[in-house]
Amino acid sequence: MTQRQVAMVIDLNKCIGCQACTAACKSLWTDEPGQEYMLWNNVETKPGPGYPRYWEEGGGGWNEAGTALNPGVLPLKEDHGEEIPLNFDEVYFKGTQEILKQEREMGKGANYDEDTSSGDYPNNYHFYLPRLCNHCTKPACLEACPVRAIYKREQDGIVLVDQDKCQGFRECNKACPYDKVYFNYVTGKSQKCIFCFPRLEEGVAPACARQCPGRLRFVGFLEDKDGPIDKLVNQWKVALPLHPEFGTEPNVYYVPPMLPPRFNADGTFDEEEPRVPLEYLRSLFGPQVDESLATMMFEMEKKQEGKSSELMDLLIAKEWKSLFGIPDVKVA
Amino acid sequence: MDGSRLETNRRRFIGGASAAVLGLRYGTVAAQDSSPSAYRRWEDVQRNKWTWDSVARGTHGTNCTGNCAFNVYVRNGIAWREEQQGEYGQSESDVPDYGPRGCQKGLRHAKYMYGKQRVLYPMKRTGGRGEGHWERISWDQALNEIADKFIDYNVEFGPRSVSTQLGTQMVLKRASFAALGRFATIAGCEVPEAFAGVGDLPIGVYMTTGVPLLADTMAAVFKSKVCLIWYCNPAVTRIPDAHFFWEAKYNGTEVIAISPEFTPTAMHASSWLNPKPGSDAALAMAMANLIIVERQFDPAYLREQTDMPFLVRQDNGKFLRETDVLGTPDARDNLFYIWDEVSGKMLEAPATGAPKPPPGSMVPVMNTGSLKLEGIVPALEGEWVVNGAEGPIAVSTVFMKVKAECQKYTPEYVSEITGLNPQVIVDLAQKFGAADPGMIFSGYRICKWLHGDLMQRAFLLLLSLTGSLGKPGGGLQIWNMPHEADQFAFMFSNLPPTLRIATMARWDYTHADHKKLNQQMYGNELAEHVDEYFEKSIENGWFPDYSDVKWKMGIYSGSNAANWRASGKRWRSEAFDQLETIVVCAPDMGMTAMYADYVLPVAHHYEREDFMLEPRTPYVQVLDKAVEPLGESLDDFAIYKAFAKAISERAKARGIAPVEDNFMGMPVTRDFTAYYDQFTMGGEMQTNRDVIQFLIDHNHGLPQVSFEEMAARGMMRNPGTETVMYDTDSPYGSTLIQAVRDKVPYPTLTGRQQYYMDHDWFMEEGETLPTYKGPLSNEGYPLRMLQGHARHGIHSTWRDDSLLLSLQRGEPDIYVSPRDAEERDVADGDLIRVFNSLGEFIAMAHVSSSMQPGMTFMYHGWDPMMFRGRQNFGAVVSTAGLIKPTSLVGGYGHVTYRPLSFEPNATFADFTVDFAKYTGE
Ligand code: SF4
Ligand code: SF4
Ligand code: SF4
C-alpha cells in the first residue's frame, strides 16, 4: 500500500456516452504521432466487445491466490481503431476524389458498437462504460515489467510508466487485464493514463473527470474519511471495481446501472426482472452488485416518498465541485 | 493546403517550463512525497505539457444552444486546447448548479479549427459546380466581383432577386446575426427563414399561447414531479444539460422517456414507453381524456388561463362573439363570452375585445386588461340559450368540446394506435394527472411531423388541464427566445424595419414545383388539396406571393443548407443550382461551399469576438478572440462591412442610380452608394466589438457592462433569473409568468391559452381542437425512417472531425432493427441502399435491438459529401412539398403570417422507406 491512494468513482447511471472525457484526455495527453490509436480514457457500449475489441478475453491479471500473474495476450493495434485523417484536400480543394472519407479504412474502431443493444426489443439493454487505467493497488503491469520502468507513486498511488526507463518489452501490455497500457509505435515505449498527475499536484481534478458534463466522476483519496470516495465505496458500498476477479485491486469504481423496467409480453411493466440481467452485471462488478443495486433502489424510493437520502444527495451533487475531494482550484 | 500550419500545431512544448498560470499548490501531496528518490525527470516532461502562454474566454457559436463557458488555452500562438470554466452558480438554492457544461465537439474545437476542411482564402470556382476546382483570389477581387453581380441583379430584377441565408454557424452569435440582418435590411434581400425552414417552428405552441417558445432554464427539470421526456433525446442532443434529468430522478422525480426507439435517454429514465412513431398525439389525447374523466384537472386554472369556459354556438360551432350578440356595426368580433356560475348570467370574457393593432404593426393582437376573475366563476360545463341579435342562440363551452373530442381516445382505442398496453396508458395518465407540477420536455422533433402542431396542442392540453403550464418545474420545454426587439436593435437602428423574411417551404413550393412533387409522392388528391389552400391563401392576401421574383443570387452565411434540405438532389437541381451566383461565407468546407461560385473564409469560434444568448442557462456567454483568424478569414461583421463598402464603391464607380423598392406597400429607395454609410451608421460601427457593445447597451435583459468586462469573465448572470423561470426583466420571453402570476392576457385572439380555433379552415380540416392525425407514408415502403440530432455533430456541421469519426463507424450509419435486417438478409456493418420512390442513398447498416421493428433511425448532419453519389438522407425525404392548410391561415387574430412565429413549417418526418443490401462496387 502506498501512503495515499487517489481514486475515482464513476456513476454509470449518469453517463450518456458523450465521449467528452475521451476528447478531453486526447487533446491534453495523446495528441502526438504514435498515439493516434490511444485512448487513455475510452467509453464503450456494454455489453459489447469494447476497446480494444474483446479486451475482457485477453487474459492477464493475477491468479486466484493473488500470487502470480496469469498469462495475457498482447492486444493488437488494429483492435483499437484509430484517428485517421480525412481526404479533405483531395475532395474539397483538388477535386480529385468524390467522397469525403477517412484516408484509409479504419476497421472496427474504438466505439464501433456505440448503442448496439443486447437482448430483444423492447427488452433490449445496453449502457456506457467509461474506462481508464485503474491505478491498481496490485498493478499487474508493474509486476510484469522486466526493467522496473513502471512504478506506483508513494504520495498518491498513481501508476506510471517512466518513459526514460521503458525499453518497450510490452510485458505490461500483456499483463494488464484491462488492456490499459498502449505501445507508442513511434517512440517504442509503453504509455498509459497518468491520472493527470500534473493537474492533481496543483489540486485540479483529472481532465476526464473535471471536463465530464455528466457530473458523475468523483475524484478523491480513499483515505479521506467522509470524502466522496470513502462514502460511496466504503460507507454506502454502492461503488464497485470492474472485474474484481482480475485481482489487481482497481481504484476506479463504478455505481452499477439501473435501467428502466422491462415489459411483460402484454406490454405491462415487469416489476421483477431487471432490464439488464443480474448475471451480466455480476460478471462485470462481482457478486456485490446485488447489494449495491438494492441500496440504490432503496434510497431512491426514499426520495420518491419525499424523505431525505444522503446517498442520493451525494450522487446528485448539487454543487459540481462536491464531486472532487481535492481542492479543485480554478484553472486559470 | 497549408502544411506549415499543421506542423506548427503539432509542435509540442517539450522541456523548459513556461509560466504556468497556477496559483495554488496541493500541499499535502508534496508533503507526503517521502522518498527523495521519487524525483523522475520524465514526470517534468509531463508537467510541462500542461502549460500555456495565455487564456481567453470562449464558447462555440454553433447553435448547439449549449452556451458552455470555456477557457481557451493558447500556446505558441496556437489555440492548443479548451477546458470548461466550470464555475457556474445555481438557478435557485435547491437545484443543481450548471457546472461544468461542455460536450465532446466543443472539446475538439481547438483541434478541429486547424483541420484541412478550413477555408483559408477567398476562392473562386474554376471548374464546374461541385468539382472542387478553385482559384485563390484576393478579398478585393472577390468582393468587387460579387458586388458587381449584386448590383446587376438588383438593377435588373430588384432587391428580392438576392437572398441572404444564415445558418447554424452564425445565427446565434448575436453580433454576427445582427450584422447580416442589418445588411439584409439595407439591401432589401430576401432572408429565407431557417427556423421553420428546418421544420423546427412549433406553430402549435404559437396557436395555443401566442408565442412559439416557452421554455425555462434547464434547472426547472429538477423541480418537476413527473417529467415526460417526450419524443426527445436529451442524452444525445443536450449533452451539457442532460445531468439535470438523472439528478431529478435521484431526487424523486419520475422521469419517463417516451419514444419508439430505446434512446440513450430512455436508458437512464425511471421508465420508458415505446409508442409507434407519430402516434404521440393519440397518447396525449388518451391521457387528457382520463384526466378529465377522473376529474384530476384544475378547474380554477382552466377558468382563468384558457379559453375553456368561452361560449361556443351550437349551431355553427363558432365562438359566441359580440357581433352575434349585438349585431350593431361597431360590434367587435374579438369580444367573447363566458357563463358566470355566481350570477347565473352570460358575461363578457375579461380582457377580450381590445382594439386591434393598426395595419403594418409588428404584433397581430394587442390585448389589454387582466385575466383576473374578480368574483366571477366562468362555467366550464353547461348548455344555455342566450339572446342573440337575431334571436336565441344555444351555446356550450370550449371545455365541453374538448371533453367530447377527448372521449374518442379511450385507452383501448389508443392502445391500437400506439401499441401500448391500455393499463400502461391509464397509469401514465394517473401519474401525470397527480403531478404537481408535471413537465413535458420535448424537442424540435415534434415539429417535424406534418401534424406536429396537433401534437404540440395535445401536449399543451395535458399541461393546461393539470395547471402545470407556467409553474416552476412544469410546462412544455422546447426552447425560449431572446426578445425580438433586442435582436432587432442593431438591424433596424436608423433604418425602416424592412427585413424581408421569406418562408422557405413556400418559396420552394412556388419555385421548385412542389405541387408536382406532392403528386408524385402522395397522390393527386393530397397534392390538389394542399395546392387549393396554398393558392387561396395568396389570393386572400394572407401570405406574400413569391412567384413574381426568382432568386438569382444566394449568399449563404455559415449555412450548410445543401446538407439538410429535404428531397436532396431534387432540391439541388430545382432550387440551389438555379441560382446564377452562389456565395458561401463559411469557416469550413461542406456540401454547400463545395457547390458555390465564391467561397469566403470566416473566422472560427476562437478567432473572433461575439456573445451568445441561450436560455438553457441564466448566463450570457462571450466569445473572445484567443488567436488571430487563420489564413485570411474574417469575422461576419467584417465581411458584411467590406461587402457593403464594395457595393457602394462599385456603384459610385459605375454611376448606378438608386432603385425603387416596395416593402409591403412602403416605398423604399435602395441607394447602393449609401450602403456602406448606412451599414456602419455613418462610420460609427467599425468592428464587431462596436456592434456587440451596441447590442449590450440596447438589451436591458443583459448585464449593463462593457464587453471588455464581459470578456474578462466569460459568462455573466443575466437579470431576471432569480428562479428557474425567466422573469420579465430577463432577456427571454416570459409570457407564462406574466399570464399566470401577473394575469396579463396571452397574445392570442382570445387572450387565453387558446384550444379552440373556430376559423373556417380549421373547421374544414377537422382541427378546431387538439386531436390526433396519423403520419403520412409512401405507399409500398413499409419502414418509417426517423431522424434526430446527432451526438457527434451539431446540425449540419462538425460531422467530419477525425477523432469523433473514429469514435463512430468512420462513415455514415443508419440504425435498423434486427428483424428488419434479417428479413432483408442484411448483417450489421453491411452497406445498404435506403430508398423510396423519391430516391436512394447508401449507408452502413447499424443493427441494434434498440430499434422498434418497422423503423429505421439516422442521426442528422452526415454531409452529402460523405455519401456515394453525394446523396444523403435528403434523397428519401419526400416531404418538401407538404404544407398544412391551417398553417396558411391569416387574419385570424394572432393566427396570421408572422415569420418565426406562424408560417408553414417544413416537414421532415412523414415518409417511409425500404432498404436492401447494397451490391455495387
Ligand atoms: S464525459 Fe462523462 S458523461 Fe460523457 S462519456 Fe465521459 S463519463 Fe460519460
Ligand atoms: S489498470 Fe492495468 S495498467 Fe492500470 S494499474 Fe492496473 S494493471 Fe496497470
Ligand atoms: S459545442 Fe455547444 S454544447 Fe458543445 S461544448 Fe460547445 S457550446 Fe457546449
| Secondary structure, 3-state, B526-581 | HHHHHHHHHHHHHHCCCCCCCCCCCCCEEEEECCCHHHHCCCHHHHHHHCHHHCCE
Helix (H) or strand (E) holding B592: helix B591-594
Specify whether the CB–CB gap between B416 and B454 falls below 8 A.
Answer: no
User: If you measure CA to CA, which chain A residue comes closest to B594?
Assistant: A92
Nearest to B108 by CA among B803, B628, B805, B627: B803
How does strand B783-788 pair with strand B855-859? parallel
Give me the pLDDT at residue B19, please. Answer: 31
Judged by a CB distance cut-off of 8 A, whether residue A2 touches chain B is: no
Give me the pLDDT at residue B359, please. Answer: 80
Give me the pLDDT at residue B9, please. Answer: 32
pLDDT surpassing 90 at residue B489 = no
Pairwise CB contact (< 8 Å): A19 & B807 = yes
Helix (H) or strand (E) holding A294: helix A289-304
Of A9, A11, A15, A26, which is best to mutate to test ligand 1, by the most ligand atoms within 8 angstroms of its C-beta?
A15
Question: Is residue A314, in this structure, part of any structural domain at all?
Answer: yes
Contacts of A95 in chain B (CB under 8 A): 127, 131-133
Segment B401-413 mean pLDDT: 98
User: If you measure CA to CA, which chain B residue comes closest to A271?
Assistant: B271
Which of ligand 1's atoms lies nearest the C-alpha of A130? 7
List phi, psi (to 5°) of B157: -115, -5
User: C-alpha grid cell for residue A165?
Assistant: 526507463
Q: How far is ligand 3, taken at its centre, from the CA of residue A110, in Å?
A: 23
How does strand B475-477 pair with strand B438-441? parallel
- Residue B362's pLDDT band (cuts 50, 70, 90): confident
Count of structural domains, chain A: 1
The rounded Cα B479 to chain-centroid distance in angstroms is 8
Query: In CATH, what is the architecture of B783-917?
Result: Beta Barrel (2.40)
Chain A: give the shortest CA distance to residue B620, in Å.
Answer: 19
* B268, B589, B808, best to mutate vs chain A, most A CBs in 10 Å: B268
- Residue B17's pLDDT band (cuts 50, 70, 90): very low
B123-200+493-603+630-701 maps to which CATH number?
A: 3.40.50.12770
Pairwise CB contact (< 8 Å): B421 & A267 = yes
Question: Is residue A91, in this structure, part of any structural domain at all?
Answer: no
User: If you measure CA to CA, which chain B residue comes closest to A126?
Assistant: B267
Pairwise CB contact (< 8 Å): B811 & A102 = yes
Q: What type of residue sits at position A42?
A: N
Q: B306 vs A107, B338, B435, B759, CA distance in Å?
A: 58, 12, 20, 18
Helix (H) or strand (E) holding B786: strand B783-788
Query: What sign has the CA pseudo-torsion B63, B65, B71, B73?
Result: negative
Give me the pLDDT at residue B921, please. Answer: 65
Judged by a CB distance cut-off of 8 A, whether residue B37 touches chain A is: no
Specify whether the CB–CB gap between A76 and A58 falls below 8 A.
Answer: no
User: C-alpha grid cell for residue A94?
Assistant: 483538388
pLDDT surpassing 50 at residue B312 = yes
pLDDT surpassing 90 at residue A331 = no
Percentage of residues in chain B having pLDDT higher than 70? 96
Residue range A33-67, pLDDT digits in tens: 999 999 999 999 999 999 999 999 999 999 999 99
CA dihedral A199, A202, A204, A206 (to 10 degrees): 20
Segment A156-168 mean pLDDT: 97
Chain A: give the shortest CA distance to residue B850, in Å.
Answer: 6
- Could you list the residue range(s) of the whole structural domain that residue A291 is in? 6-85+107-323
Q: How far is ligand 2, taken at its centre, from the CA of residue A30, in Å?
A: 18
* A86, A111, A300, A322, best to mutate vs chain B, most B CBs in 10 Å: A86
Give me the pLDDT at residue A332, please. Answer: 58
- Residue B497's pLDDT band (cuts 50, 70, 90): confident
Question: Is residue A208, in this structure, part of any structural domain at all?
Answer: yes
User: C-alpha grid cell for residue A134?
Assistant: 485503474
Nearest protein CA to atom 5 of ligand 1, as residue? A17
Are B123-200+493-603+630-701 and B783-917 the same fold in CATH? no
Residue range B696-739, pLDDT digits in tens: 999 889 999 999 999 999 999 999 999 999 999 999 999 999 99
Nearest CB to A94: which of B41, B132, B271?
Answer: B132
Domain segments of chain B as ranges: 3-112, 123-200+493-603+630-701, 783-917
Segment B437-455 mean pLDDT: 96
Nearest CB to A116: which of B269, B424, B846?
Answer: B846
User: C-alpha grid cell for residue B244?
Assistant: 439535470
User: C-alpha grid cell for residue A269?
Assistant: 411493466
**Which among A214-223, B358-367, B499-508 has the top mean pLDDT?**
A214-223
Q: How far is ligand 2, taken at its centre, from the CA of residue A176, in Å?
A: 5
Pairwise CB contact (< 8 Å): B50 & A85 = no
Pairwise CB contact (< 8 Å): B242 & A332 = no
Question: Is residue A332, in this structure, part of any structural domain at all?
Answer: no
Average per-residue pLDDT for chain B: 93
Question: Is residue A96, in this structure, part of any structural domain at all?
Answer: no
Contacts of A208 in chain B (CB under 8 A): none
Judged by a CB distance cut-off of 8 A, whether residue B10 touches chain A is: yes
Residue range B512-567, pLDDT digits in tens: 999 999 999 999 999 999 999 999 999 999 988 888 999 999 999 989 999 999 99
Cβ within 8 Å of residue B105, ≥6 positions away: B60, B62, B64, B112, B792, B793, B794, B798, B801, B804
Pairwise CB contact (< 8 Å): B421 & A300 = no
pLDDT surpassing 70 at residue B34 = no
Percentage of residues in chain B having pLDDT higher than 90? 89
Residue range A172-201, pLDDT digits in tens: 999 999 999 999 999 999 999 999 999 999
Question: Is residue A90, in this structure, part of any structural domain at all?
Answer: no
User: C-alpha grid cell for residue A309?
Assistant: 437520502
For B647, which DSSP code? Answer: H
Segment B108-136 mean pLDDT: 97
List phi, psi (to 5°) of B447: -90, -15
Percentage of residues in chain A having pLDDT higher than 90? 96
Give me the pLDDT at residue B614, please. Answer: 93
Residue range A238-267, pLDDT digits in tens: 999 999 999 999 999 999 999 999 999 999
Residue range B257-279, pLDDT digits in tens: 999 999 999 999 999 999 999 99
- Residue B28's pLDDT band (cuts 50, 70, 90): very low
Pairwise CB contact (< 8 Å): A317 & B247 = yes
Which of ligand 2's atoms lies nearest the C-alpha of A150? 8
Residue range B173-206, pLDDT digits in tens: 999 999 999 999 999 999 998 899 999 999 999 9
Specify whether the CB–CB gap between B644 and B144 falls below 8 A.
Answer: no
Minimum-distance ligand to the CA of A216? 1
Q: Please report the ipTM that was assigned to this predicted complex.
A: 0.98
Residue range A83-115, pLDDT digits in tens: 999 999 999 999 999 999 999 999 999 999 999
Q: How far is ligand 1, taken at its centre, from the CA of residue B221, in Å?
A: 20
Q: What is the CATH number of the domain that holds A242?
A: 3.30.70.20
